[in-house]
Copies of this chain bind each other. A is one copy, B any other.
Amino acid sequence: MEERKALSEDDPYANDPRRHPALIPSAEKPYNAEPPVSLLMQDFLTPNDLFFVRNHLPVPNIDPESFNLEIGFENGKMRGLTLDVLKKKLPSKTVATTVQCAGNRRSDMVKIKPVKGLNWGIAAISTAEWTGPTLNSVLRACGVDIDTVDCGHIQFEGLDKGPDGTIYGASIPIELARMLKDDIIVAHQMNGVDIPKDHGYPLRIIIPGVVGARQVKWLGKIVLSKDESTSHWQQRDYKGFNSSIDWHNVDFDSSVAIQFLPVQSAICEPEDGETLDDDEEVTVKGYAWSGGGRGIYRVDVSADGGKTWTSATVEPNGQSPYKSWAWTFWEVTVPIPKEHEGKVELICKACDSQYNVQPDSVEGIWNLRGCLSNAWHRINVQVPK
């Protein structure tokens, strides 16, 4: 992998990798970017170089030879596992999972009222096949039985470090870890190759159905602890609040860290603002996904403001309705209302395998950090006269 030339010795981002020119950045340092909507659905498994990038700190430079994944109890002695052990000595599993940023579709929330956060469009979501030993087997190799171990949370620490010494970290409750113990992957491969630098080389913890923020990249440490991670991102970020809470009255301790994500969907084709080439019907395509392993049962599309709905053809993703970690693509052709006056609004909404649905409006779910933006997706297109 080529390195970007350091513009300055003092730039902590000087070692960041080169990125695909098609990526659309929402921030440069740390680098954050999503693929163009037109490329998002080209493949069920997003190509690694088009996979959305959500970095909180500079990309670290990690030497695979000296790398050791540290595992242990808080304040206790840490075991170290080399990459060689993780890759060759433990049984390997491959899982296709979708990773979504907590802020995906934040730009829809911003339209209502400003929020603090990167202005993500609808493509801060991507899917890959991840390969590595399961969390269960890694812990067992260290003599820990995940089902009986006395701890409250599993903390994951990254090797990315800010100029002020901040380290990225997150945690999941032990109960969640137990539910997913054979599905959480200590991944060293992404779509069949070593995980690229931007995505966590050499290790990323993959926790299917859970928000991207807990799936720590450049994984350096797994800590069994009584407590949640004390990181900024676990305690003072990535939590939900009602729409009357803003920065003057927020109490982060009153809310609970986001883990599993709610049902989501978005229209990728046509794109917002596009001009259609037909005035009688339109073929609409998009993705749908839900957290917690919930598959997608139905996606409804409307071209008349929600008066009438047509259910889309939902492409099976090969996973079961209760362990559906990956997204599904859908497609439907809907009639364009006669009284279109040159433009039409297209809406989609999904229903998952536990019959959860998306909320109708952004107003009802607006929150100061612009997380969990999963209202019905609405786009406007031009219709030829």
Residues of A within 8 A of B (CB): 173, 175-176, 179, 240, 242-245, 254-256, 258-263, 291-292, 297-298, 300, 306, 308-311, 320-323, 349, 351, 353-361, 363-365, 372, 376
Q: In the complex, are the beta carbons of B351 and A364 less than 8 A apart?
A: no
Given contacts A292-B292, A309-B243, A311-B242, contact A262 B175 (CB under 8 A): no
Given contacts A240-B297, A298-B242, contact A354 B175 (CB under 8 A): no
Q: In the complex, are the beta carbons of B355 and A260 less than 8 A apart?
A: yes
Q: How far is the CA of A334 from the CA of B195 in the complex (A)?
A: 51
Q: In the complex, are the beta carbons of A259 and B364 less than 8 A apart?
A: no
Q: In the complex, are the beta carbons of A300 and B256 less than 8 A apart?
A: no
Given contacts A320-B175, A322-B176, A372-B355, contact A363 B258 (CB under 8 A): no
Q: How far is the CA of A254 from the CA of B312 in the complex (A)?
A: 12
**10 closest A-B pairs by CB:** A260-B354, A360-B360, A242-B309, A262-B356, A242-B300, A356-B356, A244-B309, A244-B308, A262-B355, A292-B354
Given contacts A256-B297, A258-B355, A262-B356, 17 further A-B contacts (CB under 8 A): A240-B351, A242-B300, A242-B310, A243-B309, A245-B311, A259-B354, A260-B354, A261-B354, A262-B354, A262-B355, A262-B357, A263-B356, A292-B354, A357-B359, A359-B359, A360-B361, A364-B376
Residue in B311, B320, B357, B364 whose CB lies within 8 Å of A306:
B364
Query: In the assembled complex, which residues on chain B have CB atoms less than 8 Å from the CB atom of A292?
Result: 292, 354
Query: In the assembled complex, which residues on chain B have CB atoms less than 8 Å from the CB atom of A256?
Result: 297, 321, 353
Query: In the assembled complex, which residues on chain B have CB atoms less than 8 Å from the CB atom of A244?
Result: 308-310
For A211, give the chain B residue with the smallest CB separation: B355
Q: How far is the CA of A372 from the CA of B291 in the complex (A)?
A: 20
Closest Cβ of chain B to A349, distance in Å, is: 7
Closest Cβ of chain B to A237, distance in Å, is: 15
Q: In the complex, are the beta carbons of A349 and B322 less than 8 A apart?
A: no
Q: In the complex, are the beta carbons of B309 and A355 less than 8 A apart?
A: no
Given contacts A261-B354, A262-B354, contact A323 B240 (CB under 8 A): no
For A354, give the chain B residue with the smallest CB separation: B260
Query: In the assembled complex, which residues on chain B have CB atoms less than 8 Å from the CB atom of A297?
Result: 240, 255-256
Q: In the complex, are the beta carbons of A175 and B322 less than 8 A apart?
A: yes
For A293, give the chain B residue with the smallest CB separation: B179
Query: In the assembled complex, which residues on chain B have CB atoms less than 8 Å from the CB atom of A173?
Result: 321-322
Q: How far is the CA of A30 from the CA of B308 in the complex (A)?
A: 35
A-B contact pairs, 15 of them (CB 8 A): A173-B322, A175-B323, A179-B322, A240-B298, A240-B351, A240-B355, A242-B311, A244-B308, A255-B297, A255-B298, A260-B354, A355-B372, A357-B359, A357-B364, A360-B360
Closest Cβ of chain B to A183, distance in Å, is: 12
Query: In the assembled complex, which residues on chain B have CB atoms less than 8 Å from the CB atom of A291?
Result: 354-355
Q: How far is the CA of A376 from the CA of B240 in the complex (A)?
A: 18
Q: In the complex, are the beta carbons of A306 and B354 less than 8 A apart?
A: no
Query: In the assembled complex, which residues on chain B have CB atoms less than 8 Å from the CB atom of A258?
Result: 355
Q: How far is the CA of A379 from the CA of B334 in the complex (A)?
A: 36
